[in-house]
């Protein structure tokens, strides 16, 4: 791995003021890297990186990845994109631009510098899957014109660009498909199920379940996910992915809601609302490729422990 004149890696993290990006930056700084955090703060929040202000190896730049970026770095983690339905449906055109133009600009930078680049893709590329659990060779079942398409198809197109840069320019790419992730620094109103349930329970409000709550998700604690990112980037130039990174333990939405009520001691009641359009009924990763290529990576934080830490975070916020 290339290093700068001080013997340290200089790492670019786009979307670095977001939930995942800020945790990744903490980990990179802990291992001794210099980090350039780039974020336009559309959904990112400076409070996620306030604790890094004044850190000698941390730099923040407000910038939109839809426009070219001219910097000198040794690695790129491209995490820039709204990742919750509330946020990416707020401005769907901008969401698609961020996924596609952002990928083009960051790939162009990586090509110029000849450095490895990591793409934070998503399990949403599988759409409402017809196979279960999802393996990386599954092409997906995605509605190209629905209300979630700006995100789903934007990420699918970004993957296409990454693999075309691999084939056409021999670029060292890493494409990770991220499954549901939770933990401290989630946005309280981003519409994701874990943060929704915890905030509603702590405030004593009814907990809203879409449909009958039988749809399933697999929840990975953020520390485990970041460990997967680090191992993927360190896996060498022959490991490109795509690789699923998530927790293979599957829970129904109703089970999650009941667990949150129990752990918060809330008196909240469950109420059912109609399912949103194109909402997947099942989501569970097969992580065989991650175990094989990422030094036997697999999640270690169990759901109850992860929820305990996340509830403690939100208890100070609401």
pLDDT at 23: 98
**pLDDT at residue 1 tops 80:** no
pLDDT, tens only, 71-81 = 999 999 999 99
Structural domain count of the chain: 1
Residue 189, pLDDT > 80, answer no
Query: Average pLDDT for residues 28-48, to the nearest whole number?
Result: 95
Rounded Cα–Cα distance for residues 194 and 287 (Å): 22
pLDDT at position 21 is: 98
**pLDDT score recorded for residue 84:** 64
Residue 15 domain-assigned?
yes
* pLDDT at res. 17: 97
Distance CA 51, CA 267 (A): 34
Question: Which among 66, 86, 23 is positioned nearest to 276, based on CA atoms?
Answer: 86
User: Average pLDDT, stretch 261-285?
Assistant: 84
Specify the pLDDT at position 166.
Answer: 98
In SS3 terms, 50-105 reads as: HHHCCCCCEEEEECCCCCCCCCCCCEEEECCCCCCHHHHHHCHHHHHHHHHHHHHH
Whether 210 maps to a domain, the answer reads no
Helix (H, G, I), strand (E, B) or coil at 233: helix
Q: Does residue 148 sit within a domain?
A: yes
Measured CA to CA, the distance from residue 12 to residue 74 in angstroms comes to 8
**Domain containing residue 96:** 10-182+221-247+285-299
- Looking at residue 306, the DSSP 8-state letter turns out to be H
Q: How far is CA 257 from the centre of its chain?
A: 22
Q: Report the SS3 class of residue 205.
A: coil
Q: With CA atoms as reference, report the closest residue to 209 among 296, 271, 286.
A: 271
Q: What is the pLDDT of residues 164-178, one digit of tens each?
A: 999 999 999 999 999
Task: Provide the mean pLDDT of the chain.
Answer: 92
The residues pairing with 273 across neighbouring beta strands, listed in sequence order, are 210
Q: What is the mean pLDDT of residues 187-206?
A: 89
Rounded to whole angstroms, how far apart are CA atoms 295 and 217? 25
Within-domain flag for 31: yes
Is 200 a member of any domain? Answer: no
User: Distances from the Cα of 91 to the Cαs of 108, 180, 194, 278, in angstroms?
Assistant: 25, 22, 23, 18
Consecutive H or E run containing 29: helix 19-30
Rounded CA gap, 95 and 80, in Å? Answer: 10
Confidence of residue 213 (pLDDT cuts 50, 70, 90): confident
The reported pLDDT for the residue numbered 273 is 83
User: How many other CB atoms sit within 10 Å of the CB of residue 271?
Assistant: 10
Task: Say which residue, 291 or 7, is predicted with more confidence.
Answer: 291
pLDDT at 279: 67
Question: Within a domain: residue 306?
Answer: no
Contact 241, 301 (CB under 8 A): no
pLDDT at 7 over 90: no
Nearest by Cα to 136 from 288, 271, 318 = 288
pLDDT of residue 54: 94
Catalytic residue numbers? 151
| pLDDT tens readout for residues 118-154 | 999 999 999 988 988 999 999 999 999 999 999 999 9
How long is the chain? 318
Residue 40 lies in a domain: yes
Residue 33 belongs to a domain with what CATH number? 3.40.50.720
Helix (H) or strand (E) holding 132: none
């Amino acid at each position: 791995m290339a290093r700068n004149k001080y013997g340290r890696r200089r790492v670019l993290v786009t979307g670095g003021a977001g939930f995942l990006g800020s945790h990744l930056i903490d980990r990179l700084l802990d291992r001794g890297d210099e980090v350039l955090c780039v974020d336009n703060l559309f959904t990112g929040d400076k409070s996620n990186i306030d604790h890094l202000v004044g850190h000698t190896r941390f730099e923040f730049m407000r910038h939109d990845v839809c426009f070219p970026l001219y910097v000198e770095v040794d690695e790129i983690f491209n995490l820039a994109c709204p990742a919750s339905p509330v946020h990416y449906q707020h401005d769907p055109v901008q969401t698609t631009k961020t996924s596609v133009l952002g990928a083009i600009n960051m790939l162009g930078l990586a090509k110029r510098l000849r450095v490895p680049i990591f793409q934070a893709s998503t399990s949403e590329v599988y759409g409402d899957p017809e196979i279960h659990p999802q393996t990386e060779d599954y092409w997906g079942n995605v509605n190209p014109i629905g209300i979630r398409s700006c995100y789903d198809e934007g990420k699918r197109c970004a993957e296409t660009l990454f693999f075309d840069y691999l084939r056409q320019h021999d670029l060292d790419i890493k494409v990770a498909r991220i499954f549901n992730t939770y933990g401290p620094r989630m946005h309280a109103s981003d519409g994701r199920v874990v943060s929704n349930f915890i905030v509603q329970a702590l405030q004593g409000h009814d907990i809203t379940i879409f449909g009958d709550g039988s749809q399933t998700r697999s929840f990975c604690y953020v520390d485990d996910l970041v460990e997967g990112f680090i191992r993927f980037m360190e896996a060498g130039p022959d490991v490109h992915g795509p690789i699923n990174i998530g927790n293979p333990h599957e829970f129904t939405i109703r089970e999650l809601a009941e667990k949150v009520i129990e752990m918060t001691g809330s008196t909240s009641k469950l109420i059912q609302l109609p399912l949103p359009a194109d909402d997947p009924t099942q989501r569970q990763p097969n992580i065989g490729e991650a175990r094989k290529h990422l030094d036997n990576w697999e999640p270690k934080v169990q759901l109850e422990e992860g929820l305990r830490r996340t509830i403690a975070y939100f208890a100070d916020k609401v």
